[in-house]
Amino acid sequence: MRKILILLLIFSSLVVFGTMGICQENITVGTASIGGTFYVFGTGIAQIITKYAEGVGATAEVTDGSVNNAQLVGSDQTDMGLAMADVVYGAYNGTGKFDRKFEELRGLFMAYGQMMHILVREDSDIYSVADLKGKKVSPGPAGSGTNSMTVKILESFGIDPEKDIKLEYLSHEEESMALGDGTIDAAFYLMGTPCAALQNIVLAIRQDLFQLRKKI
pTM given for the model: 0.69
Give residue-wise pLDDT tens across range 167-176.
Answer: 999 987 788 8
Q: What are the boundaries of each domain within the chain? A: 2-114, 115-212
pLDDT tens-digit map of 22-48:
456 899 999 988 877 889 889 999 999
CA distances from 76 to 2, 39, 51, 137, 142 (A): 25, 20, 24, 33, 20
Superfamily of domain 115-212: Periplasmic binding protein-like II (3.40.190.10)
Length of the chain: 216
C-alpha 156, offset from chain centre: 21
* Domain 2-114 CATH class label: alpha beta
Per-residue confidence (pLDDT) for residue 181, from 0 to 100: 86
